[in-house]
Amino acid sequence: MRVYPQAVIDHSALRHNLGLVRRHTPDSRVWAVVKADAYGHGMVPVATSLAAADGLAVARVEEGVRLREAEIARPILVLEGALFADELAAARGHGLALAVHQPDQVALLAQTPPARPLRVWIKVDTGMHRLGFDPREVPDLLARLDADPGVEKPVGLMTHLANADDVHDPLTPRQCDRLRALDPAARYELSIGNSAGILAFPASRTHWVRPGIMLYGASPLGRRTAAELKLRPVMRLATRLIAVRSLRRGDRVGYGGAYVCPEDMPVGVAAIGYGDGYPRHAPTGTPVLVGGRRASLVGRVSMDMISLDLRGLPESAVGDSVILWGEGLPVDEVAEWAGTIPYELLCQVTPRVRREHRNP
């Protein structure tokens, strides 16, 4: 039986994008960020086909445990670290590296017996003011962790960039300087660059970098398209036309009658909606590809369906392929229309949409 909608995941594009990370930062080791089900692409299949990445980064301990249960043996960094004793025990048991970003986590480390040394990364707040220790607290903390036999050496120092997608924001070089200044004798390992940092800020290309969105082929830089950056889209979100209607001038389409036909026109209905993760805020005009050619959405997005203006494609027929994003229609462009970012669109594709893995 034919299944639609589908998210077709192209693993050769994924590996191409990892190769691009390597070209930008040849001296760094790479944590491929696979949190949030690999930005909606499927965490275990993505982690498996990114075997060339030196390590994997996830947000939560539970995600790291799932990777280990899938027999993935590479280093795994948990970006939010562990807060509770059972999480710490699981992290130790599975050999996960942990970020520590606040004092309770350090206290927890000290409380539990060092059965097996743990890799620890101090998360430093260099200006994002979300997570992390103030740089002034770091020297003492380093001294404590250096003396703790339960902590593997060297300790890592990491920070996250708040605004690296704006290549002109002076905050980013300042954040890089603040982290680097904590290790004048080069005794520790540093990690700064996310995708935007890797592409736009050489100072963020540290021992380890942490690319996420660029691996999936979306642009992390507001002003530059994925194609300009030579990234290849990994996900193609596709469905089918399930109806083609001939509507009359003045007919109102969909919930709220939000679109009024300006003339007699063909309107297609495609089987995808916000119940599949297609953004409900996508407005009239949002592009789609029907049979490989551009058309656009009209009216409100429903749970299971969207309506399409087919005036430019009058030969369209029931069963035709409809692509919501992918090759030929960047997810970045759809995100812009929907008033959001590609990260959100990719992450929010629901489990109802079958993932189809190509070239794994």
Ligand X SMILES: *Cc1c(COP(=O)(O)O)cnc(C)c1O
Query: 3-state SS string over the chain?
Result: CCCCCEEEEEHHHHHHHHHHHHHHCCCCEEEEECHHHHHHCCHHHHHHHCCCCCEEEECCHHHHHHHHHCCCCCCEEECCCCCCHHHHHHHHHHCCEEEECCHHHHHHHHHCCCCCCECEEEEECCCCCCCCECHHHHHHHHHHHHCCCCECCCCEEECCCCCCCCCCCCHHHHHHHHHHHCCCCCCCEEECCCHHHHHHCHHHCCCEECCCHHHHCCCCCCCCCCCCCCCCCCEEEEEEEEEEEEECCCCEECHHHCEECCCCEEEEEECCCHHHCCCCCCCCCCEEEECCEEEEEECCCCCCCEEEECCCCCCCCCCCEEEEEECCECHHHHHHHCCCCHHHHHHCCCCCCEEEEECC
User: Contact region for ligand X (CB under 6 A) — 210-218, 228-236, 244-252, 311-319?
Assistant: 210-218
User: Contact region for ligand X (CB under 6 A) — 82-90, 208-216, 264-272, 324-332?
Assistant: 208-216
Q: Which is nearer to ligand X, 46 or 288 (CB)?
A: 46
Distance separating the N- and C-terminal Cα atoms of the chain: 22
Residue ranges in 71-100 that form contacts with ligand X under rule CB under 6 A: 79
Q: How far is the CB of 333 from ligand X (least distance, A)?
A: 18
Q: Which is nearer to ligand X, 97 or 265 (CB)?
A: 97
Q: Which is nearer to ligand X, 33 or 282 (CB)?
A: 33
Q: Which of 153, 188, 216, 255 is catalytic?
A: 255
Q: How far is the CB of 136 from ligand X (least distance, A)?
A: 21
- Sign of the dihedral defined by the CA atoms of residues 330, 333, 338, 342, in that order: positive
Residue ranges in 185-204 that form contacts with ligand X under rule CB under 6 A: 194-196
Among 41, 92, 101, 210, binds ligand X (CB under 6 A): 210
Would residue 123 show up in a list of annotated catalytic residues for this protein?
no
Q: Which is nearer to ligand X, 198 or 247 (CB)?
A: 198
Would residue 35 show up in a list of annotated catalytic residues for this protein?
yes
Q: Which is nearer to ligand X, 178 or 311 (CB)?
A: 178
**Judged by CB under 6 A, does residue 64 bind ligand X?**
no
Instruction: Tell me the residue nearest to ligand X as measured from the CB.
Output: 212
User: Contact region for ligand X (CB under 6 A) — 68-76, 211-219, 257-265, 290-298?
Assistant: 211-219
Q: How far is the CB of 180 from ligand X (least distance, A)?
A: 17
Q: Which of 35, 188, 216, 274 is catalytic?
A: 35
Q: Which is nearer to ligand X, 89 or 347 (CB)?
A: 347
Q: How far is the CB of 132 from ligand X (least distance, A)?
A: 10
* β-strand pairing of 287-290 with 321-325: antiparallel
> From residue 132 to residue 161, what is the string marking binding to ligand X with x (rule CB under 6 A)?
----------------------------x-
Among 106, 213, 231, 346, binds ligand X (CB under 6 A): 213
By CB under 6 A, the count of residues binding ligand X is: 12
Which is nearest to 269 in space by CA: 231, 214, 307?
A: 307
**Judged by CB under 6 A, does residue 33 bind ligand X?**
yes
Q: How far is the CB of 114 from ligand X (least distance, A)?
A: 26
Among 64, 127, 211, 299, binds ligand X (CB under 6 A): 211
260-284: b (≥16 Cβ within 10 Å) or e: ebeeebbbbbbbbbbebbbbeebbb
Footprint of ligand X (CB under 6 A): 33, 35, 79, 160, 194-196, 210-213, 220
Active site residues per annotation? 35, 255
